[in-house]
A = this chain, B = another copy of it.
Amino acid sequence: MQVMDERVGIENQGQGSGRPSTIGVVGGTGALGRGLAFRLATAGHQVRIGSRDPDRAKEAAALLEGGIVGGSNAEACASDLVVIAVPWPAHELTISGLHKELDGRIVIDCVNPLGFDERGPFALTVDAGSAVQQAQLLLPGSTVVGAFHHISAELLLEGGDLDTDVLVLGDDRDAVEQVIALVGSIIGLRGVFAGRLRNAGQVEALTANLIAINRRYRGQSGIRITGI
C-alpha cells in the first residue's frame, strides 16, 4: 500500500495536486524565497513571506503576484508549512531565534552550505552533517524536511515552464508526504523521496555541481530522476 501511495504522488506531478495550504517563507525577500513564494502562490496556496525587516518583506510581497503577504519572520512562521530560505551564514542564528514560533510545525529547509573561490563553488563542511540536520538539532520540537535545494531562483522568478524533480529528505513519513504534495502542486515540479536526513548533506552539496554544470554549458540545470 505504501508503494501504491507513492506512485500516486509520482503520477500527480505538475497537475496542481494537493490541497491549498498556508505557507510561510522565512528569508522570503531573497531570490529563492521570492521565487518559491511566487510559484506557491500561483499554485493556489496562501503565502506569507518574512524578513528580519518586515517593511522589506511587505515591499517584496507587493511586487509579487498572487496575494502574497509580507511581515516579520515570526509572522511567516504562523503557517501550515514553513520554508527556511535564508543564506547559509544566517542559517543557525535565524533558526535559533524562531524555535518557539516553529515548535510543532513542519519546516522545509532548502539552504545549501556552499563556499565560492576563484575555482568556483564547493561544499562546506557542516558539523551537524548538513543544513537540514543542523535545523533539526536547533528545532527539536519541529519536523524538518529538506527540499528545493537544486531549483534555480531565476527560473522560479522568470515565470517560465519548470522541468525538474525536487529531492525530498526526511525522517518523518507523514511530513515527507506533505512536502511531496506541496512540491507537486507547482506545475512542472515533482517531489521524490530521496532518503533520510543523514543523507541530506550530499544533496545540498550537489548544488555546487549544478553550478559547475551551469557554468560549463551556460544553462540553468535541474535534475530528473529516471527509472522510477
Contacts and interface: CB of A to CB of B under 8 A. Distances in A.
Contacts of A220: 227
A195 B213 contact: yes
Given A10-B217, A219-B228, A123 B208 contact: no
Interface in A116-167: 119-123, 152, 155, 163-164, 167
Given A3-B217, A3-B218, A192-B213, A123 B225 contact: no
Interface stretch (A87-95, A97-105, A196-204): A196-204
Interface residues of A, number: 46
Contacts of A6: 216-217
Interface string A174-191: 000000000000000000
B209 A122 contact: no
A78 interface: no
A209 B222 CA distance: 16
A37 interface: no
Contacts of A208: 195, 199, 202
- Identify whether the interface residues of A are mostly helix, strand, loop, or mixed: mixed
A193 interface: yes
A63 interface: no
Nearest to A223: B223
A199 B209 contact: yes
A212 interface: yes
Of all A-B residue pairs in the complex, the 10 with the closest CB atoms, nearest first, are: A195-B212, A202-B205, A219-B228, A217-B228, A202-B202, A224-B224, A222-B226, A194-B209, A221-B227, A220-B227
Given A3-B218, A213-B228, 20 more contacts: A7-B217, A122-B199, A123-B201, A123-B202, A164-B227, A169-B209, A192-B213, A192-B217, A193-B217, A195-B212, A199-B209, A202-B209, A203-B209, A210-B225, A214-B228, A219-B228, A221-B226, A221-B228, A222-B225, A223-B223
